Structure formats: C-alpha cells, structure tokens
A and B are shown apart, each in its own frame.
Chain A
Amino acid sequence: MSYELFRKGLDSPICLTWEMTYGCNLRCVHCLSSSDKARPDELTTAEAKALLDEFAAMKVFYINVGGGEPMSRPDFFELMEYSVRRGIGVKFSTNGTLIDQAAADWICRTDYLDVQISLDGATAEVNDPVRGTGSYVRARRAMELLAERGFCFKINVVVTKENFGQLDAMQAMAQNYGAQLRVTRLRPSGRGKDVWQDLHPTQEQNRALYYWLKARPEVMTGDSFFHLSALGAALDGMNMCGAGRIVCLVDPVGDVYACPFLLDPEFKSGSVRDPGGFGEVWRNSTLFTGLREYEVGGACKSCGSYGVCHGGCMAVKFFTGTPLDYPDPECIHLPEDRPKKRTLQLRKI
C-alpha cells in the first residue's frame, strides 16, 4: 500500500541527507562521496542557515547529516543547534575522531540530536584496512565518551564480506555500550566503486543476513537491505527505492541528487543555489518528476518477489553498469529460481 502512495513522491522529503563538507580526516576505501579535502565553494554558514530555514518551511522532520566528516566544519555546532531550534531533528554520522569531552557534553545536552559512529569491524584488524590505521581505536574512544555519559548512540556498520562474520560481536559491543547497532549496505558509489567487487557480501552471506536481521528486529538498517526482502516476509522499513520520491541528498556545494548513493551528474537534479532554491528542485526538477513516474520493469516485473523489493537499488545497478531495468546485482534469486508471480485464479461457483 505505502509503495503505491510514495512512489509518486511527497510534497517534501520525509528526511534528506545533507553532506556538509567534502573534508575528512580519514580516507575510507568505500567512501560514497570520495571525501578528501573540503572544497572552497561549499555552502557558507549563511547559505546553510537559509537552507535550514527552507527545510523548516517545508516541514522536513529531520535531516541526516554527513560528509566528509561533518564535525570538521568550524560552524558544525552552530548549524546543528540552528537546525534543532528550527524544529528539524538531526541525525549525524561521524567517524568519531573529533568527539572529545566537550563535544560529548554538547551531544548529551542537545535535544533531538542522534549520533551514529561508523565502525566497520569488531576488531582493528578488520576495521582499519577499510577505515584507516588507528581509526578503530579513535572510534572506540568516542563511543566510550558517550557511553560514560549514558548517551544512546548508534554504531553504524557497512556490511562487507570481511566483517560479516563479526556481526554478532558488533551487536554485543553495541549492547555493552547501551547503544544501538545499525547495519547498512555497501554501495559501489564514490570510492566504493573501486572496492565493491572485492568487499560486497557473497550471495550466501546476503541470504544469511536476511535471517540474521529477521531474528533481530532491534538492529536498524536504514531500510538499506530491502533487496533482501525478496527472500520472504519484508524486512522492517518502507522496502522501496526512495530516490527523489521520499529522500534526496544535498551535497556540500548545494547540489541536489536523487539519493546519497547517487552522486553522479546523471542523478543531479539542480542546486539549492538556483532560483527557487531547494523547494523548486524537489517539486519540479525534470529528474525528480521523472523518477516519480519510473518503475523497474524487465525480468523483475514477472518475479513473485517484485511486490517486496521492486527491483532493488538503483545506485548499485548504476555504478556496476547494470541496466536499471535489470535485477539488482545482489538479487538473492538466481535467474532460474526466481519465483513465478502468482496470478489470480477466477473460479466459477
């Protein structure tokens, strides 16, 4: 039911991702936005506040703030406080390296602020090859600072072939901190394109992940594994591609893209610096209005699982060179055992 309502798009996004800066002090091998140094043309503090005003006017309930490392922006705290004051909740994603005692205190006393710390392994041996030498210890330090203060943060894990076997350990780590575990899908976007083939989970791991998640409804996914819902009952979440329909991305220079995993000129719909601002791009850009009419066709349409996965993730297809009308490259059905769509049988009574 919700798929039909939402695929035509909403008047405003439910939430959107705002990447505040391309600057980052880490060089994760799978970085979606290929972050490195901040760009000189990133939104100024005044532009960023005007953008938050516009989100507030459109009643965007909350924003996912990322980067780059958002905390590396000198006006990070000022902008987050401004957002919360305007009634926009903040969920920000950080590598944790810049969380010191003072930042941890600020996080704890700020309302409607959620924090997720990225960690891609339960041990430095698994995490550091992906996120960089020393990143494990620094992220754990940030977690300790927040846990000491009784703050419930999230640990975000991008599931890879290498860390799949550590999911139980990651969940135990989260529980020990009084934190929540969030697992997300590896996308071949940004630098992720170069490592996706080597790091993405095997089909066997993906299948096991579905049952692992089903048994642990407390583990959050940001709706990123909806392609696995094709295995049976849908996973929690909307189970659809929300690109340009219910979500979008604003990048550090104000360019608007269909989703955080589609940072490519082909999926750029405009800029918040254009006349009409963000609202005009959201409501009327050719790309977004087109996406609201788009449905994956091809072999997926005749598959019995189409009703739960709708053909999977557009970004993964796009960056692996898969035509958008083809099944998701990580589709858990092999072509020969894709379930047949059941048709309604009419019987005479």
Chain B
Amino acid sequence: MNLERPYKLAHGVSIRPEKFGALLYSYDKRQLYFLYNKALIDFVAGLDGSQPLDLALDGFLVEQKLATNNKPIFLRALEKLEAMEVLSEL
C-alpha cells in the first residue's frame, strides 16, 4: 500500500450500508464481502481519489474526532481491502 497515492473503491465494486455495517460486492469476481466497522465503512465509502491516502486518513480521523492511535488499525484493514482488490490505487 502506497500512502502517498490516492485510493478509491476498485472498479466494479459496490458498497451498501446495512444495520450491521455494510455489504461490498465485486461484480467482476461475483464475490460478496461483509464489513462491520462503521468508521472504516464511512472512510472507504468517502474515498474519492482526490488526495493521497495518508492525508485522507489523517483528515478523516480529525473530522470524526478519532485518536491518532487508530491510524495503524485503519491501515491494517485498508491493506486487507487492497489485497482483496476491493480498494485500488489510482
């Protein structure tokens, strides 16, 4: 994962909020994923590729009044999403 680069939901991936969190569907892989962490979902759904991931995440943590020690947790989750090809670098 390159923090200096902007990321967004991969092409052909759709996200839908649900009571428990969100469902993600990859049209290309015909694969369904479940996300349970609401803050992570908000962050991922809000990624528009307009700024580097590092900046976007810092801004999000401030905006959501989340402590900076949440950052490594977010990054681990984002790396997983990238490995699953749900997130992609622009």
Give the interface of A toward B (CB within 8 A).
2, 5, 8, 10-12, 14, 59, 61-62, 87, 89, 112, 114
- CB within 8 Å for A89 and B32 given contacts A12-B16, A61-B14: no
Total contacting residues, chain B, CB less than 8 A: 12
Q: Is the interface of A mostly helix, strand, loop or mixed?
A: loop
Q: Are A14 and B20 neighbours in the complex by a CB distance under 8 Å?
A: no
- CB within 8 Å for A112 and B19 given contacts A2-B34, A59-B14, A61-B14: no
Q: Are B17 and A11 neighbours in the complex by a CB distance under 8 Å?
A: yes
B17's nearest neighbour on chain A, judged by CB, is A11
Give every chain B residue within 8 A of A87 (Cβ-Cβ).
Answer: 14
- Per the bound structure, the CA–CA distance linking A198 and B23 in Å amounts to 41
- Per the bound structure, the CA–CA distance linking A310 and B63 in Å amounts to 43
Question: What are 25 A-to-B residue pairs whose CB atoms are below 8 Å?
Answer: A2-B34, A5-B20, A5-B34, A10-B18, A10-B19, A11-B16, A11-B17, A11-B18, A11-B19, A12-B16, A14-B23, A59-B14, A59-B16, A61-B14, A61-B16, A61-B23, A61-B25, A61-B27, A61-B32, A62-B25, A62-B27, A62-B30, A87-B14, A89-B30, A114-B30
Give the 3 A-B CB pairs with smallest separation, nearest first.
A61-B25, A59-B16, A5-B20
Give every chain B residue within 8 A of A14 (Cβ-Cβ).
Answer: 23, 32
* Minimal beta-carbon separation of A62 from chain B (angstroms): 8
Within 8 A of A (CB), among B3-60: 14, 16-20, 23, 25, 27, 30, 32, 34
Q: A87-B14, A89-B27 are in contact. List 20 more A-B contacts (CB 8 A).
A: A2-B34, A5-B20, A5-B34, A8-B19, A10-B18, A10-B19, A10-B23, A11-B16, A11-B17, A11-B18, A11-B19, A59-B14, A61-B14, A61-B16, A61-B23, A61-B27, A62-B25, A62-B27, A89-B30, A112-B27
- Per the bound structure, the CA–CA distance linking A11 and B22 in Å amounts to 10
- Per the bound structure, the CA–CA distance linking A59 and B17 in Å amounts to 10
- Per the bound structure, the CA–CA distance linking A14 and B33 in Å amounts to 11
* Minimal beta-carbon separation of B30 from chain A (angstroms): 7
- Per the bound structure, the CA–CA distance linking A5 and B16 in Å amounts to 15
* Minimal beta-carbon separation of B49 from chain A (angstroms): 19
Give every chain B residue within 8 A of A112 (Cβ-Cβ).
Answer: 27
